[in-house]
């Protein structure tokens, strides 16, 4: 097979397990089991090669779905090749029902590569009004993480130096969309596929609105820097056809700018000041 476990890795494996693995030498089960082991201890490139070897030998195996998902994760998180990662994830969803756990994990992988709305623990963003760059208005966001708050962002809104509001903003990545939770409703602020012209509606009585991806390659200048490859998303209320809002999202950064717009004009509203 042209692949051998290094000595340090071999010492970490239970001898009985190693004997079991070696019995699979030359067959797809070997590639699957050793690939998972290497994946688990952080040897992602070794795991990547073994997973690909497994799919060459046993493309129709019951384990193929799991292996494709694992390949997508490595393409996304290690190689940062989102086109290939999304291809792997989409192949997982193709023949599974939405209730299947592998399906849901693949959809989440698609929404995270590129990730236009990061929610992992430890992320922070500071937004300010574009006129004063945060001196008049500032909104500090921080992901909370943890089991109960994994999709929550703590927002601290300031008018000048005075804290005027503090609370949680709830989001979810599910059903091919990134949604903002508003009461009992999940408002999809981003929806896959991320293509220009993609349009969707949200019906909520007086707050009925529609969204449209206007561009997937916007270059946006903010106080935090210049970002390329951004989504430009239009958000409009049906009862106000001559005014709308644009929100810009940068890959792996998140929301970076909002503007107020209408026929023939677009004015800056808020923008990213700092982020981590």
Residue ending a domain, choose from 111, 144, 177: 111
Answer yes or no: is 117 within a domain. no
Last residue of a domain, one of 111, 136, 156: 111
Together in a domain, 216 and 84: no
Q: Whole-prediction pTM value?
A: 0.86
Residue 119 resides in a domain: no
175 and 44 in a single domain? The answer is: no
pLDDT of residue 21: 47
Confidence band of 14 (pLDDT split at 50, 70, 90)? very low
* The pLDDT value given to residue 37: 95
**Mean pLDDT in residue range 219-238:** 96
Check whether residue 237 and residue 103 sit in a common domain: no
Average pLDDT, the chain: 90
pLDDT in tens, 158-216: 999 999 999 999 999 999 999 999 888 899 999 999 999 999 999 865 668 999 999 99
SS (H, E, C) the chain: CCCCCCHHHHHHCCHHHHHHHHCCCCCHHHHHHHHHHHHHCCCHHHHHHHHHHHHHHCCCCCCHHHHHHHHHHHHHHHHCCHHHHHHHHHHHHCCCCCCCHHHHHHHHHHHECCECCCCCCCCEEEEEECCCCCCCEEEEEEEEECCCEEEEEEEEEEECCEEEEEEEEEEEEECCEEEEEECCEEEEEEECCCCCCCEEEECCHHHCEEEEEEEEEEEEEECCEEEEEEEEEEEEECCCCCCEEEEEEECCCEEEEEEEEECCEEEEEEEEEEEC
Q: What is the CATH number of the domain that holds 206?
A: 2.40.360.20
Clarify whether residues 100 and 200 are in a common domain.
Answer: no
Residues 95 and 151 in one domain: no
102 pLDDT more than 90: yes
Q: What is the mean pLDDT of residues 224-230?
A: 98
CATH code assigned at 88:
1.25.40
9: pLDDT strictly greater than 60: no
Task: Please report, rounded to a whole number, the percentage of residues in the chain having pLDDT higher than 90.
Answer: 80
pLDDT confidence of residue 145: 80
Same domain, 97 and 147: no
Residues of the domain holding 56: 7-111
pLDDT at 23 over 60: no
For residues 55-77, give the mean pLDDT.
Answer: 95
pLDDT, tens digit (0-9, with 9 covering 90-100), for 112-161: 999 999 999 999 999 999 999 999 999 999 999 877 678 999 999 999 99
Is the pLDDT higher at 16 or at 147?
Answer: 147
Q: Rounded mean pLDDT of 248-255?
A: 98
Does residue 254 form part of some domain?
A: yes
Same domain as 80, residue 146: no
């Amino acid at each position: 097979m042209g692949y051998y476990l290094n000595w340090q890795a071999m010492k970490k494996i239970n001898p009985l397990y190693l004997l079991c693995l070696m019995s699979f030498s030359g067959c797809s089960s070997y590639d699957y089991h050793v690939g998972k082991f290497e994946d688990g201890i952080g040897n992602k490139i070794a795991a990547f090669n073994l997973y690909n070897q497994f799919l060459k030998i046993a493309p129709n195996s019951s384990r193929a779905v799991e292996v494709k998902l694992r390949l997508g994760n490595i393409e996304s998180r290690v190689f940062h090749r989102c086109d290939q990662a999304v291809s792997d994830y989409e192949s997982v969803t193709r023949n599974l029902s939405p209730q299947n756990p592998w399906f849901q994990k693949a959809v989440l992988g698609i929404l995270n590569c590129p990730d236009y709305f990061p929610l992992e623990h430890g992320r922070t963003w500071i937004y300010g009004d574009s006129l004063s760059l945060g001196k008049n208005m500032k909104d500090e966001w921080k992901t909370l993480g943890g089991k109960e708050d994994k999709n929550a962002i703590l927002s601290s809104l300031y008018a000048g130096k005075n804290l005027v509001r503090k609370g949680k903003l709830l989001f979810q990545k599910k059903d091919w969309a990134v949604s903002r939770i508003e009461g009992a409703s999940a408002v999809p602020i981003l929806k896959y596929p991320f293509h220009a012209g993609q349009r969707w509606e949200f019906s909520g009585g007086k707050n009925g609105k529609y969204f449209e991806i206007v561009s997937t390659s916007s270059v946006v200048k903010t106080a935090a820097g210049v970002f390329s490859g951004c989504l430009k998303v239009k958000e409009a209320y049906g009862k106000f056809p001559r005014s709308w809002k644009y929100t810009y999202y940068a890959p792996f950064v998140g929301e970076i700018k909002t503007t107020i717009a209408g026929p023939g004009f677009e004015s800056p509203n808020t923008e990213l000041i700092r982020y981590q």
